[in-house]
Amino acid sequence: MTGSPFLALPGAVALEAAPGVAGADGPGVAGHGADGPGVAEHYGEPMIEQRRLERGEAVVDLSDRGVVSVTGPDRLSWLHSMASQSFTGLRPGEGIEALLLDAAGHVEHAVHAIDDGETVFLIVEGGEAATLAAWLDRMRFMLRVEVADRSSELAVIAAMSVEALDAAASAFAPDGVALDWVDPWAAPRPGGHQYAASAGHPGADWRWIERIVPRAELAGAAAAVRAGRVAVAGALAAEALRIAAWRPRLATEVDEKTIPHELDWLRSAVDLGKGCYKGQETVAKVLNLGRPPRRLVLLHLDGSDTVLPAPGDEVVGEKVRPEPAAGESPERKVVGRITSSAMHHELGPIALAVVKRAVPAGLPLIVESHGTEVAAAQVEIVPADAGAAVEVPRLPRLGIR
């Protein structure tokens, strides 16, 4: 894939390092990738771009994302057998999110899926398409399915309104159904589970649409921006709004140990009532009998030093017990790491972080970044006291009278 025509727009600054992507020593799984150098970080006015995007007036170039297609009469039942989400009964034009897990329940792939009655299209992070297509192809066996990496011919643009997308590029409907994936994060899906409190959940205002278009039409979409028919926003704007909505992403929040519960991903990407799939035992066991070993939090960051922590930066907290002796400084301990960070147009500097389950909800935190200590106040997404969904009766100990 070559650079996008959006990079030729006035003010475009090419993305050198993906926003919210951890380095080799931090969160993030190698190969998952995120917004790459083929898209714009911003177009000169990141805060204004955020506001326009939030109002549904701007489009975002996601042409570095990958698109994998699955065709054939067995496509839905086949994907259903492997994924965390239910594909059976998927209606043409309906979008779902699904995870592919390893045997221990760790997240390996996340897909944004939409079916048009003939083909399921899977939108994935840019570095995922070839790997996912190759893995799926190996899993076909004798089933009537065909898998293809379509990233060279299909691209993705996004917005928070259909009107903005229509102004940039007409809906693509190769089989009569528009390939617009509407993010289900706005409300918990039937069959899912939400750890976060429902009242005041910022995801309720999240209206994200990803439109698959022929890659050849990107030039026309960029021309629509140049002509003033629609505004444009860069990757920084999209990331800031995503973080504020508590919306997890494979390329940023996931590492080799991540299970869906830790990111509250059961809310949108898991159907707890579906049949067996790889990793299901862990999903059910942690939900019903255990606790997520780590948890996602939103951090409000102190911006007085104008330092925005980077993904992978350590989050530390002061040990509550034992109390330090007189004259001694409290002992500090690393309790997590930053996964994504951004400057939000209303909230200021914010970040998502994955911290240890036992970190108290009210514990003041510090992010060590660029040689500076940045104070952070946490907002629970997955609560510290998130427990088992099933009450297990305590059995009397034998021999006790």
What pLDDT, in 10s, does the model give residues 186-240? 999 999 999 999 999 999 999 999 999 999 999 999 999 999 999 999 999 999 9
Average pLDDT over residues 230-255: 98
Q: Which residue ranges form the domains of the chain, and what is each CATH number?
A: 5-286 (3.30.1360.120), 291-380 (2.40.30.110)
pLDDT above 70 (res 33):
no
- What rounded mean pLDDT belongs to the chain? 90
- Binned at pLDDT 50, 70 and 90, residue 390 comes out as low
Sheet arrangement for strand 154-159: 180-182, 209-214, 154-159, 58-61, 231-233
pLDDT of residue 386: 81
Percent of the chain residues past pLDDT 70, beyond the cut: 88
pLDDT of residue 66: 97
Q: Which amino acid is at 288?
A: N
The pTM is what? 0.91
Average pLDDT over residues 123-139: 95
Distance CA 136, CA 247 (A): 26
Q: What is the 3-state secondary structure (H, E, C) of 10-63?
A: CCCEECCCCCCCCCCCCCCCCCCCCCCCCCEEECCCHHHHHHHHHCCCEEEECC
| Cβ pair 354, 374 in contact under 8 A | no
Extract the tokens encoding 322: 């034992």
- Binned at pLDDT 50, 70 and 90, residue 19 comes out as very low
Distance CA 122, CA 49 (A): 27
Sheet arrangement for strand 95-101: 95-101, 107-115, 119-124, 66-71, 146-149
- Binned at pLDDT 50, 70 and 90, residue 333 comes out as very high
* 34 closest CA partner among 301, 242, 266, 225: 242
- Give per-residue pLDDT as tens, 43-76: 999 999 999 999 999 999 999 999 999 999 999 9
- Give per-residue pLDDT as tens, 309-326: 999 999 999 765 556 555
Q: How many helices (H) and strands (E) does the chain have?
A: 9, 18
pLDDT above 80 (res 1):
no
